Structure 1
Amino acid sequence: MKINGPNQSNLNPYQKQIHKQAEAGLKKQPEDKVEISETAKQMQQSGKSESARAKLIEQVKEDVVTGNYRVDSKAAAKKMLNFWSK
């Protein structure tokens, strides 16, 4: 029995699959992109005034400790009504 005859082609289906997988791995994958919304940009910029806010917080803390802190109840009530009426 002759294994290598004149009409036999050298086909190896497993070898073809390996080449296809290698070619698929070489394809360039799309790059990731990050987009920052306008709201996020504003939030980043608002962090720059953090030192001014920290000073205000320290002042309020001192006023509370010394007993000099007073709340304007009418202004607070107006702001609450405006907030809840929206």
Structure 2
Amino acid sequence: MKIHPHNQIHQTYQHATEQVKKHQNPREAKQDQVEISQAAKEMQHSGIDATRKAKVDALQKQIDAGEYRVDERAVAHQFYQYWNERG
């Protein structure tokens, strides 16, 4: 009786190929999920105080009008302070 090892290799290859195809099937792909904590849900419903809302609305108007400008030096300074305080 002759034993043909290439037959065993072919069967192993077929099995591996089937496993790869099974995992690549888009219908069986896992979906991403996001879970929001109870504290975050409460924050969403708690509302924004009037002062903060007025600031946000004013900034939004400036952005929409193209008038909002960022002070690059102030931003860089804040980053510098933040990283130096952490060290």
TM-score greater than 0.5 by the shorter chain: no
Higher relative CO (Cα under 8 Å, sequence separation at least 6) belongs to: 1
**TM-score of the pair, normalised by structure 1:** 0.42
**TM-score of the pair, normalised by structure 2:** 0.41
Say which structure is richer in helix. 2
Q: Which protein has the larger Cα radius of gyration, Structure 1 or Structure 2?
A: 1
